[in-house]
């Protein structure tokens, strides 16, 4: 069956304009003028609503298998569908077994079977001692690898130092697969924490937590990663950049052609340290949310093309682990649940700053698709791409309530946020999977492997 999707606002690589998308066998077969929908097609006319490419979130923690009491494929992918995200790339650390060899990847595939409402892929993990497992994982289809330069919070996912990184990069060189890195060095964090404890700092205060994860931890880690990306000519991707102080280093390296890319998170662009109450450990994440001036510097860097993409780093846990009764930042689990909310939150913040929707398509769809090796196939409304389509009302105003949370635990730092922009429908491979707070059909998501 040939379908047509028509609106006066379709976001294609050429910009936002009236268009008709012809969809055949789940893929976009043609991008036509608005008036040119062929008469024999099944026409879906969306009027003036915006048609966006299905978003790609290349940084989520699904936690299954092994920690499905934290999150899981069914709930995470439903949250994604409700938020206009049609491709997820799962991080390798919170599942058991951690995705550090092919057997573990196969366990994840088995766990996902029949549960994924959107398409997904799995990053492989680089940990101390698994360099020999990297090429087999690459051959098994992972789109790249993730590592930590500091304790990850998960004892089974060992962090790596420069020597370990060199072993991994020697394997990855020439594969074209990126190494994603949590860029905080342990030295500055340990030193700051010892200083704070020596001064009997109050761990209920946000300022204590912020001081314990200084900018220098990020800046020093990024300097090391830039050096290695250059030396090994292997792409390194900085995940969840928080510190704007690292931006000059990154811009300089990128200007010299060093293969380094960088993402930031919706929560770093939305919240600021000044507004975080003491004890509000629901907002704990690492690196931490910094001050408002830092946040605005991140926005400037996005505008200047110095940050490539915006993701959620959706990382939920059972509510008790957030330690909200105790309110101690040193004991709470670090991670913010944002899957399903990222598009309206980010769009609200963009609109306030005068950004256009075209940029959203680049930052939340095309760029993360490129990172994962799915350019042209995901994150774009262009001929040959999967017909993953989001119907978006950019003007609808609403307030985030628990009923909008489709992830496992109804806990999110965005509760109560007043937002602009709402996902009306989500389509995957030309089939509708979500409409106005309801899911349609069954879990039809597929695993994406890098070819």
DSSP codes, 142-187: ---EEEESS--S-TTS----HHHHHHHHHHHTTT-PPEEEE---HH
Number of residues that bind Zn ion (CB under 5 A): 1
- For residue 182, the minimal CB distance to Zn ion (Å) is 7
Which of 92, 445 has the CB closer to Zn ion? 92
Chain residue whose CB lies nearest Zn ion? 313
418-428 and 15-24 beta bridge pairing: unpaired
Which of 75, 312 has the CB closer to Zn ion? 312
The rounded distance, in Å, linking the Cα atoms of 381 and 390 is: 10
- For residue 61, the minimal CB distance to Zn ion (Å) is 6
- Name residues whose C-beta falls within 8 Å of residue 54's C-beta, 6 or more positions apart in sequence: 84, 85, 86, 87, 118, 365, 378, 379, 386, 388, 389, 390, 426, 427, 428
The rounded distance, in Å, linking the Cα atoms of 181 and 208 is: 25
- State the burial class of residue 227 (Cβ atoms within 10 Å of its Cβ: 0-12, 13-18, 19+): middle
Interaction residues for Zn ion, span 193-232 (CB under 5 A):
none
Stretch touching Zn ion by CB under 5 A, among 34-42, 140-148, 229-237, 313-321: 313-321
Rounded to 5°, angle at Cα 83 from 25 and 236: 85
- For residue 333, the minimal CB distance to Zn ion (Å) is 12
Three-state SS across 327-342?
Answer: CCCCCCCCCECCCCCH
Six-digit token pair at 257? 């052609």
Stretch touching Zn ion by CB under 5 A, among 14-22, 215-223, 296-304, 305-313: 305-313
Interaction residues for Zn ion, span 330-369 (CB under 5 A):
none
- For residue 317, the minimal CB distance to Zn ion (Å) is 12
Stretch touching Zn ion by CB under 5 A, among 50-58, 95-103, 186-194, 312-320: 312-320
Stretch touching Zn ion by CB under 5 A, among 271-279, 310-318, 416-424, 442-450: 310-318
- For residue 264, the minimal CB distance to Zn ion (Å) is 12
> Is 149:159 a contact under the CB 8 Å cutoff?
yes
Q: Which of residues 71, 313, 388, 425 is near Zn ion by CB under 5 A?
A: 313
Which of 92, 361 has the CB closer to Zn ion? 92
- For residue 53, the minimal CB distance to Zn ion (Å) is 23
Stretch touching Zn ion by CB under 5 A, among 10-18, 291-299, 306-314, 382-390: 306-314
Cis peptide before 35 (omega within 30 of 0): no
When asked if residue 184 is in the footprint of Zn ion (CB under 5 A), the reply is no
Asked whether the CA dihedral 346, 351, 354, 355 is positive or negative, the reply is: positive
- For residue 313, the minimal CB distance to Zn ion (Å) is 4
For Zn ion, the binding residues (CB under 5 A) are 313
């Amino acid at each position: 069956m040939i379908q047509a999707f028509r609106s006066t606002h379709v976001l294609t690589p050429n910009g936002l304009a009236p268009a008709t998308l012809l969809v055949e066998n789940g893929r976009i077969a043609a991008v036509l003028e608005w008036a040119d929908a062929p008469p024999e097609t099944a026409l879906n006319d969306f009027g003036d609503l915006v048609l966006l490419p299905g978003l790609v979130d290349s940084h989520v923690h699904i936690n299954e298998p092994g920690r499905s009491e934290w999150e899981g494929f069914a709930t995470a992918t439903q949250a994604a569908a409700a938020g206009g995200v049609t491709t997820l790339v799962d991080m390798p650390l919170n599942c058991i077994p951690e995705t550090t060899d092919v057997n573990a990847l196969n366990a994840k595939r088995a766990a996902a079977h029949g549960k994924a409402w959107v398409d997904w892929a799995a990053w492989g993990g680089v940990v101390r001692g698994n360099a020999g497992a990297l090429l087999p994982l690459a051959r098994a289809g992972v789109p790249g690898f993730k590592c930590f330069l500091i304790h990850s919070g998960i004892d089974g996912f060992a962090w790596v130092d420069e020597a370990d990184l060199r072993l991994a990069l020697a394997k990855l060189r020439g594969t074209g697969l990126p190494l994603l890195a949590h860029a905080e060095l342990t030295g500055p964090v340990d030193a700051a924490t010892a200083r704070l404890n020596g001064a009997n700092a109050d761990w209920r205060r946000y300022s204590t937590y912020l001081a314990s994860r200084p900018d220098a931890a990020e800046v020093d880690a990024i300097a090391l990663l830039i050096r290695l990306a250059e030396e090994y000519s292997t792409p390194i991707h900085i995940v969840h950049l928080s510190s704007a102080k690292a931006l000059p280093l990154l811009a300089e390296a990128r200007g010299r052609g060093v293969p380094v890319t960088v993402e930031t998170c919706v929560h770093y662009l939305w919240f600021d340290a000044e507004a975080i109450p003491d004890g509000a450990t629901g907002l704990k994440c690492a690196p931490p949310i910094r001050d408002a001036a830092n946040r605005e510097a991140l926005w400037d860097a996005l505008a200047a093309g110095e940050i490539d993409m915006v993701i959620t780093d959706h990382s939920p846990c059972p509510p008790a682990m957030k330690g909200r009764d105790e309110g101690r930042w040193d004991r709470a689990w670090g991670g913010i649940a944002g899957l399903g909310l990222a598009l309206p939150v980010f769009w609200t913040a963009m609109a306030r700053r005068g950004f256009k929707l075209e940029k959203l398509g680049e930052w939340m769809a095309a760029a993360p698709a490129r990172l994962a090796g799915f350019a042209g196939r995901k994150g774009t409304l262009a001929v040959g791409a999967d017909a993953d389509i989001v119907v978006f009302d950019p003007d609808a105003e609403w307030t985030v309530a628990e009923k909008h949370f489709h992830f496992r635990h109804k806990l999110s730092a965005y509760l109560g946020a007043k937002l602009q922009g709402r996902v009306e429908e989500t389509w995957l491979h030309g089939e509708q999977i979500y409409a106005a707070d309801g899911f349609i059909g069954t879990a039809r998501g597929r695993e994406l492997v890098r070819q």
